[in-house]
Structure 1
Amino acid sequence: MKQNVLFLFCLVVSGPAWADSTIDPAHPYAYGANIGWLNARGDIANGAGLGQSYCTGYVWSANCGWIVLGNGPTNGWQYGNAAADDWGINHDGEGRLSGYAWGANIGWVTFEQVQGQPRVNLLTGNLSGYAWGANVGWIGLSNAQAFARTTRLDAGPDSDADGIPDYWEYREAGDLGTLSDGGHDQDSDDVPDADEYPADTDPLVDTDLLQIVSITTASGTNNVAWTTRPTRFYRVEATNALPAATDIGWADVGGGLIGPPASSPTKVAIPDEGNRGRFYRVQAVIPLGE
C-alpha cells in the first residue's frame, strides 16, 4: 500500500517598498478619444505606482496635464473616497481597480466595475478596461495599438520593518503593533504572522491558514487539494524523499503557477509515479510581487 506524506510550506514573493513608477517603460500608454495618449509612466519618479492594495502617483497627458491616482490612504490600506483628503484608486487584490483619480484641468476620473471594469492582469501585469471622466469621456487602458502594463504590484511601506507591509497589517489588525516578526504568531495556529501575509490568510483566526486538506488516489493520479485565496497564485511541488534543506530537491508537479483560484479548496491531478511514497508541498506566490 502506497503511503503519501503531506508537507506544506508557504513562500513569500513580494516586491520592494514604494519606489518610482511600476509601469513598464515599453508599455506605458492609455488612450482617450477626446484627449489623446496618456503616459502612465510619467517622468518615472512621478509616474503611476500600482500596488497590492492601492495606487499612487501620476499619469501624464500632453493635452490635460497631470492626473493623480492618489497619495496614500488615511487608514493605511484603502482609500475611503468619501473625504477631501482621502481619495484615489484602490486595488482589491484580485485585479479590479476602483475609486477616483483627479486632474486639475479635467476634474474627476472614475474607475468602476459596472461599465468600465478597469483591471490589472495578475499574471501579465497588462491593464484593461476603461476609466470615465465626465469632461473627457472614456479613457481606454488598452487598445489595438498599445496598452499600459505594470511590472509589479508594490507592497508599499513597512514602517516597523517586520517583513509585513503596512497595508496588510492595517487591513487585518487595524494597527502596526498587533502583528510582528521573529516567529510571532498572534492566533497561535503555528503559522507566524510574517508567513500569513504571503498566503493572505487571516492572522487573527487560528483555523484560517494555507494547508493541504486532502490527497486522494484514483486512475493513476494523486488528487491534491489545498486551501486557497483569489489574491494568490500557487505552486505544487513534490519529492520522493525529504531533502536535507527545504528548498532543495523539490520539483514542480502542478504545471507551473496555478490560479488565482475562484474557490477554495483548489484541487490538481498529479500523475502517480508507482508505489513510491511522495511528499507534497504548496507554495503561495504573491502576484507580480517580484
Structure 2
Amino acid sequence: MFGKKKPIPQIDKNQLELIENAQKRIKQKKRLYVHFVIFLIGAVFLIVANTVLGIGKDFTLFGINWFVFAILIWLFFFLYHLFNVFVTHKFMGKAWEKEQLDKLVSKQQQRIDKLKAGFEKEEKLMAQSEVYSESNAEPKKLQSELTIIVAAAENNAIGLGNKLIWHLSDDLKRFKSLTNGHHIIMGRKTFESFPKPLPNRTHVVITRQKDYEAPEGVIIVHNLEDAIDASKSDSQPFIIGGGQIYKQAMTIADKIELTRVHHDFDADTFFPEIDASVWKETANVFHKKDDNHDYEFSFLTYERK
C-alpha cells in the first residue's frame, strides 16, 4: 500500500559479521589475482624493455641488470600479499566459519533455554496463585434463597374454606413488599383464591391436573421440585401456600417470613410446627391491635441453622 513502509529485516550481529568477513575475503582474493597478473605483465615488460629496446641497458647494480632488482622487489610485494591473504587471514577459512556458526548456534540455544526457564517459572507462579486462590476462597452461597412466607395464628391456623380468616392491613403490605418482583410458588387452590394474578410477580402454580388452564404468564408445574427449577433465575423465590405445599417446603426452605397472629382460630388448613432445633429466630417485630388491625401480631423471621 502507498505510504506503508516495508519491514526492515533484522540480522543477528554474528551473522552480519560472517557476511562482512566473507565479502572482505573475496575482495582480497580478487586483488591478489589482479596483483599476480600485473606482476607477470610488468616483469615481461621490464625484461623486454631492457633486452630488446635497450632501456637502461648500461645501468647495473652490483653487476646485475637493474630490472632484476625491480622484478625482485615486485615479487616481494606479491609474496607479501599472498601471505597476507592465505596465512595471516587463515582464520577466515572454513574452520573459522564453522567456529562462528557453532558460536551462533550456542548463543541461540542459550536464548531458547532462557526463554523456556522464564515460561516455566511464570507457569509455576500462576499455578501457585490459582491453588492459593482456590484454597482461600470463601464457600460460595447458593444464588437462590427459597423463602416461605405465611401468616399463621397461635394454633398455626392459616385458612378456612380456601380463604383468609383475618384481614391485617400491615401484613398485606409486608407480603406485597417482600414478594414484589419475585416468583411466587403456590398450589392450585391458593392460586384460585385470587381474583386475578398479583401484579409484578411471576406465578408458579403446582397442580396434578395435566390439562390445567391458566392465564398467560402463569407457569404450570406438577410438583414442588419443578416449581423450584422454574424459579431458578430468581434470587429469592417465595412459597406462599397452601398447607401441603408449606409442609413439603419446610424440609428444603432457607428462610421463613412469618406473621404470627396472636389469637387462636378455627380452621381447616394449618401451617407446620416450626422446629426450634432446625430454625433460628433472627427478627421479631411486635404490632399492637389498633383501628386497622383487630388482632395483635408479630413479624418474625426464621433462618435455617
- TM-score interval for Structure 1 and Structure 2 normalised by the shorter chain: under 0.3
Largest Rg, 1 or 2: 2
> RCO (CA 8 Å, sep 6+): is it higher in 1 or 2?
1
Structure with more helix by fraction: 2
Q: TM-score, normalised by structure 1?
A: 0.22
Structure with more strand by fraction: 1
